[in-house]
Amino acid sequence: MQDTFKKLSREKQKKIISAAAKVFAENGYYQANVAEICKAAGISNGALYKYFKDKKSLHISTFEIGTKELRKHVFEKYLEGTGSIYVKLHKLLKGIVRFGEKDRREIAIYFELGSK
């Protein structure tokens, strides 16, 4: 991820990452088309390469941002507080399932990376 991406508004960043996550999840890394990602994000191919060095960098950033969201919405939420480790683990696993149901793309990208 280039510094130019970090300077974009959060809304624009989310739009690009969401488009990339959708295309990567539906097609896998090798079949994912950068032009399709750009079209879905509403940016030009040239703009994408100002924000990311290459497709691999975009893929890794998409995974990292998705993982950060998973931590924020699941791990931190369900592992806080008191209770036994078993109760926390149960809540955590239920939270992961809910997160996966809400945004299947992040889970698909995670599994694709894990299978390589």
Structural domain including 64 reads: 3-114
Mean pLDDT of 89-114: 68
CATH of the domain at 90: 1.10.357.10
pLDDT of residue 109: 64
Q: Which amino acid is at 34?
A: V
Cα radius of gyration (the chain): 16
Q: Is the pLDDT of residue 56 over 90?
A: yes
Q: Can you tell me the distance from the alpha carbon of 40 to that of 50, in angstroms, rounded to the nearest whole number?
A: 17
Number of domains in the chain: 1
Q: Collect all residues with Cβ–Cβ distance below 8 Å to 111 and sequence separation of at least 6.
A: none
Chain position carrying tokens 């994408």: 48
Distance, CA of 58 to CA of 2 (rounded, Å): 10
Q: How many CB atoms sit inside 10 A of residue 70's CB? A: 19
| pLDDT beyond 60 at 115 | no
**Arithmetic mean of pLDDT over the chain:** 83
Stretch 94-109: mean pLDDT: 69
Determine contact, residues 13/23, Cβ cutoff 8 Å: no
Residues of the chain above pLDDT 70, percent: 81
Tell me the pLDDT band of 116, cut-offs 50, 70 and 90.
very low
Mean pLDDT of 76-85: 72
SS3 assignment, position 16? helix
Q: Are residues 42 and 24 in contact, defined by beta-carbon separation less than 8 angstroms?
A: no
